[in-house]
Chain A
């Protein structure tokens, strides 16, 4: 992690996909400030947020540092839809039996750089974590996910999972992902998976053959795709508002 009051650059491993123009002009103090959240033992805490279009050229870095007490649960669900550069970082430390649930969607076009960076520290035994990130990009945008899972030496019976999938709707769009697993315990489960691809053409033809115009077919497919990230969000109204915020970006896209 970068020391306070010095600016990171894209030479830093954790910032390698960041927008260098944004970093060059950023305010070091603002960039290095963290929102601190404590989840008491046995309790559940949740944050959801959509980062919408900011004014031209504006960017945003949001950083959360979370500690989850014994048997507690922390859930975070985000949509990154806008801003030339948007980065959401979550660092979570889990005590005995605590759970971290993370769902993130990046969706956008133009020259946007949209990224999630997570660091999940399984500090004690029996902790579980599940992270699902979906990226939908077009234009020359990029959607990134850097996910680090650290399992301490005595954090036995840790069960951690991480999954990233990206759909690139046009040539020129990109996605980057870097799973990092640092495991010092020997009785743990850590799963990670990543896939980057284009929309399924055979599904598109099948849907068209049933009468669906391409824009509706695409919306249905993307709805299903990004829905994975919010499958664990139990509040229907919240889930729908995040889905709408994400899918609303498609209407602005000239695809």
Chain B
């Protein structure tokens, strides 16, 4: 589904990713762990196509296309979802309006008919319930006045509504209390744990992986994958620290 080969990228002239290779197939959940400054968020932004994150070498194929050649909104329409570490507030635009426009833009790009207001609300209600989020929250402005935990849950509601083939979730677990962590974990499993879908979880901690069991765990250090293993690698990291394991 996603094949990254020898990817190099820099931010403001500073090299961050230095030859990162990673292959993710349908039905798989991968976790990337690593210390601060290893390049985890940079990887997420490069995959999303954020301006200012410049690819200087390597390639990324997604769904048989050159991912790096596409605009950000085209990547979304192709099935890529980026869960933000810090979801952005958009004053004056309601979640319902934002998501309906976004979903219909994606459907349009794929040659599908747009959803009517009624159809969309039904879908939104169903996905909000999955994340135990009140529909009233979805009528409010995008992320404005949401707590850190509410923002992360709202991200997962967005993921449920947009129904992507592949999700990159950048520290979706940060800022969540124990109950919210379980709800978000269940949400990821329900929405994305399917044979035709895949997930790349970016996280500092093992605790989210108690709820969303990864098939592969990778350690990212200094811009490269330095170690790959199964779920047991996450436990080992938690016990021994990045320095010991990545060395």
Contacts and interface: CB of A to CB of B under 8 A. Distances in A.
A225 interface: yes
Contact of A224 (B75, B77, B81, B91): B91
Contacts of A200: 88
A215 to B, nearest CB: 10
B92 A210 contact: no
Interface string B64-83: 00000001110111000110
Contacts of A212: 73, 101-102, 105
Size range of the chain A interface in the assembly: 20 to 34
Label chain B's interface by main secondary structure: helix
Contacts of B17: none
B162 interface: yes
Interface string A198-223: 00111101111111111010001101
Nearest to B161: A210
Nearest to B90: A203
Contacts of B181: none
Contact of B101 (A205, A208, A220): A220
B126 to A, nearest CB: 18
Interface in A212-248: 212-214, 216, 220-221, 223-225, 227-228
Given A205-B72, A220-B101, A224-B93, A210 B51 contact: no
Interface in B140-186: 158, 162
Contact of A221 (B73, B90, B105): B90
Contacts of B101: 212, 216, 220
30 contacts: A200-B88, A201-B51, A203-B90, A205-B48, A205-B50, A205-B51, A205-B72, A205-B88, A206-B84, A207-B102, A208-B71, A209-B48, A209-B75, A209-B84, A210-B98, A210-B99, A210-B162, A211-B77, A212-B101, A212-B105, A220-B93, A220-B98, A220-B101, A221-B93, A223-B92, A223-B93, A224-B90, A224-B91, A224-B93, A228-B92
Q: Which 3 A-B pairs have the closest CB atoms?
A: A224-B92, A211-B76, A208-B72
Interface of A: 200-203, 205-214, 216, 220-221, 223-225, 227-228
